[in-house]
Amino acid sequence: MPNIPDIGYTAEVLALVVALYATVVAVVGARKNRMDLIASARNAALAVTALLTLAVIVMEYLLVTGHYQTEYVANVTNNNATLFFKMAALWGSQEGSLLFFTWLMSVFTAVVLMRKWGVVQTLVPYVTAVMHVVLLFFLGLITTVANPFVQLPFFPADGQGLNPLLSHWGMVIHPPILYVGFVVFIVPYSFAMAALITRQRSDLWMRTTRRWTLVGWVFLSMGLLLGGRWAYDVLGWGGYWGWDAVENAALIPWLVATPFLHSVMMQENRGMMKRWNVALIILSFSLIIEGTFLTRSGVIGSVHTFSQSAIGPLFLGFIGIMFILSLALFISRWDDLSSDNDLDSMLSRESIFLLNNLLFLALAFTVWWGTHFPIISEALTGSKVVVGPPFFKKTTGPIFAALVLLMGVAPLMPWRHVSSKKLIGLLKWPAVVGVLTAALLYAFTWVKLPGAVMTMGFIAFAGTTTLLEYWRGIQARRKAHHENVFQALIRLAARNRRRYGGYLIHIGVLLAALGIIGMEFYQLETQQNISQGESMLVSSPTVGTYELTYQGLETRMASPGVENTEAILQVKRNGRDVGTIKPYREYFVAQQQPMTIPDVDRYMMSELYVIVAGWEPGGTSATFKVFVNPLVNWLWLGGVIMVIGTIVAAWPAPEPVRRTLTVKTKTNMVTAK
């Protein structure tokens, strides 16, 4: 009977061989117009997915049953782990996460190739080849330097267990969702490359893959949101974002993919920005692979990166080759990608979209530069210089504010040209609301910082524009169809899902921006040691005064191998008792590693966020780190609305109903008899 780990490894090796076959046969079939070879390549692609599925099943079996002779299993799980965390350990470390990533990519490749693509069928062989070239790289990794089925020369009685940082629902769910966001972008990238190879000048590749890009974008958005929630709940930063290298590695491709989703409308409506769209897709996918390199090479320190390994140079080589070949193909087809129309006026939707692209790319480059500066400085000077959150906040804040302002201008701008007089008329009322909002906030509330006040004015301006667009559409439907407001809204969105789903995304972004402003400008932080029975006061202009009374410590075994020490605090807000909060510290016995978990008191959209930083023996006194996070829950709500808006925008419209009109003629009457 074959050894079970050998089954998994054999499946990986066979998948590598079959993927190579699919690549070669797809190209030969396309060149020679041999449909049998193209069909064979498709079948080989499905076989790759089946083989990798078998490898994943074998690895899950080894994890669940505790086969600790498998080195990966011994490193990421132990006897105390629950079934949920044993299964999630598949992506808990380097080798398993690469297997999972490769399997996901093969699944989406299979889904693409199983569809009937109609008018773009000529692209499919090259799409198959491009997808499998990328798959071959990852298959090469998991069969050589990152093989998850390596066996130890002995059988340990127990494993080391999952990294305590990953023992949280957000971190368990966050990587798979982020991986899906990453791998889906192989679809538009492969179709773009296939269109360049075949010299296809039309926008069919782009229209065909628009929903795939939206799916990838929404999963990237959810991954970033869940990663922020994990950082907020587990890392004890007091916030959702620390400009960590791994966080930035996911944010940068999102910042490049977002303008692509806007500029595709330019190509569809005006035949413009063809070069932009191909370049943005190449850059998005290259940055996804490069972000995977950053996470796995260990060249930049992070709280949740993998350790240094032999795959770093291989990743770097693959990124370089892939990007250079893509760029060379793009440049060779430069004339084929010329625009059908020129920019008619700076006062037009086209110019706003162009500015939008430039701002997003400036933002992406700023984050990329700050993230990679330690590598660049070490290469040039020999010493590693790390830039921290202050750099990112100062450089990205103004660009984010400008993008919020553009969100209010873009929906009102018509195509081609608008007169300055008409533009002033369109912007008048949103501008009035924005200016009044900023003035009132500055005059009558605690909001006094100019940057925050200005950005809140931009949010009010953009929000008014978006709501007015909804209102105009609702009023038009009510007048035409005599519907009530609710019916008109639902049917308006149903008939133009892309447009009104996009507006819903904008609303989500604006609400998230409120949360970001509250956290970045008005977060209050303090730390104090208090004895049992004593209180500390925390005063915030946004919420009021908190009184925290320390009542003592409780220690218990939360689960096998995990000891919890819980601090109990009685909380009063503005003199009123609001209950107790219990921040605690988990101690993972097997890993000998502590984890500090905060507790919060929610008030409207703000939170009191408390961490127990340390204590005296016996708990006679304890040190608490306290944050007041104004408006933070607008961030989470805005993220959820963004996801809902993307689903609305990407949801396929129902097939048009073909109505057959029956005309009763004398001939028909006779025939009927």
- DSSP letters for 422-483: HHHHHHHHHHHHHHHHHHHHHHHSS---HHHHHHHHHHHHHHHHHHHHHHHHHHHHHHHH--
Q: Report the pLDDT averaged over residues 335-351.
A: 82
pLDDT band at 96 (very low <50, low <70, confident <90, very high): very high
pLDDT band at 667 (very low <50, low <70, confident <90, very high): very low
Q: Which residue has the tokens 């998230």?
A: 512
The pLDDT, as a whole number, for residue 365 is 96
Q: Report the pLDDT averaged over residues 469-492.
A: 88
The pLDDT, as a whole number, for residue 163 is 78
Q: Is 568 helix (H, G, I), strand (E, B) or coil?
A: strand
Q: Which residue has the tokens 């087809």?
A: 333
Q: Which two tokens stand for residue 479?
A: 């007048």
β pairing state of 562-573 and 584-588: antiparallel
Helix axes 450-481, 420-444, angle to 10 degrees: 130
The pLDDT, as a whole number, for residue 547 is 95
pLDDT band at 559 (very low <50, low <70, confident <90, very high): confident
Report the CATH number of the 524-629 domain.
2.60.98
Q: Report the pLDDT averaged over residues 432-453.
A: 86
Q: Is the dihedral of CA 373, 376, 381, 383 positive or negative?
A: positive
| pLDDT tens-digit series, residues 506-515 | 999 999 999 9
Asked whether the predicted pLDDT for residue 656 surpasses 80, the reply is no
Asked if 503 and 466 touch (Cβ cutoff 8 Å), the reply is: yes
Asked whether the predicted pLDDT for residue 73 surpasses 50, the reply is yes
The pLDDT, as a whole number, for residue 464 is 95
Asked if 586 and 594 touch (Cβ cutoff 8 Å), the reply is: yes
Q: Report the pLDDT averaged over residues 369-381.
A: 86
Asked whether the predicted pLDDT for residue 666 surpasses 50, the reply is no
Weakest-pLDDT range from 269-273, 526-530, 635-639: 269-273
Residue 537 CB-density burial (10 A; 0-12 exposed, 13-18 middle, 19+ buried): exposed
Q: Report the pLDDT averaged over residues 478-493.
A: 87
Asked whether the predicted pLDDT for residue 248 surpasses 50, the reply is yes
The pLDDT, as a whole number, for residue 663 is 38
pLDDT band at 203 (very low <50, low <70, confident <90, very high): confident
- Between residues 493 and 403, which one has the greater pLDDT? 403
The pLDDT > 70 percentage for the chain reads 94
524-531: strand order across its sheet: 524-531, 621-629, 606-615, 599-603
The pLDDT > 90 percentage for the chain reads 54
Q: What is the mean pLDDT of the chain?
A: 87
Q: Report the pLDDT averaged over residues 280-305.
A: 77
Distance, in Å, from the CA atom of 244 to the CA atom of 393, rounded to the nearest integer, reads 13
Q: Report the pLDDT averaged over residues 605-613.
A: 92
Distance, in Å, from the CA atom of 462 to the CA atom of 409, rounded to the nearest integer, reads 7
Q: Is 540 helix (H, G, I), strand (E, B) or coil?
A: strand
Residues in CB range of 353: below 8 A, 6 or more apart? 262, 263, 265, 266, 273, 410
Asked whether the predicted pLDDT for residue 271 surpasses 50, the reply is yes
Q: Report the pLDDT averaged over residues 107-115.
A: 91
The pLDDT, as a whole number, for residue 662 is 37
The pLDDT, as a whole number, for residue 644 is 93
| pLDDT tens-digit series, residues 39-62 | 999 999 999 999 999 999 999 999
Q: Report the pLDDT averaged over residues 528-549.
A: 91
Distance, in Å, from the CA atom of 345 to the CA atom of 374, rounded to the nearest integer, reads 42
The pLDDT, as a whole number, for residue 657 is 39
Asked whether the predicted pLDDT for residue 293 surpasses 70, the reply is yes
What pTM, to 2 d.p., does this model score?
0.88
Q: Report the pLDDT averaged over residues 541-551.
A: 90
The pLDDT, as a whole number, for residue 254 is 95
The pLDDT, as a whole number, for residue 301 is 56
The pLDDT, as a whole number, for residue 659 is 38
The pLDDT, as a whole number, for residue 416 is 78
Asked whether the predicted pLDDT for residue 669 surpasses 50, the reply is no
The pLDDT, as a whole number, for residue 297 is 62
The pLDDT, as a whole number, for residue 303 is 52
Asked whether the predicted pLDDT for residue 479 surpasses 80, the reply is yes
pLDDT band at 265 (very low <50, low <70, confident <90, very high): confident
- Between residues 527 and 418, which one has the greater pLDDT? 527
Asked whether the predicted pLDDT for residue 658 surpasses 60, the reply is no
The pLDDT, as a whole number, for residue 548 is 95
Distance, in Å, from the CA atom of 97 to the CA atom of 175, rounded to the nearest integer, reads 9
- Between residues 245 and 133, which one has the greater pLDDT? 133
Q: Report the pLDDT averaged over residues 85-98.
A: 89
The pLDDT, as a whole number, for residue 542 is 79
DSSP result, 311-347: HHHHHHHHHHHHHHHHHHHHHHTTGGG--SS----SS
Q: Is 619 helix (H, G, I), strand (E, B) or coil?
A: helix
Asked whether the predicted pLDDT for residue 304 surpasses 80, the reply is no
Q: Report the pLDDT averaged over residues 230-248.
A: 82
- Kind and range of the H or E run holding 580: strand 576-581
Domain locations along the chain: 1-162, 419-521+634-650, 524-629
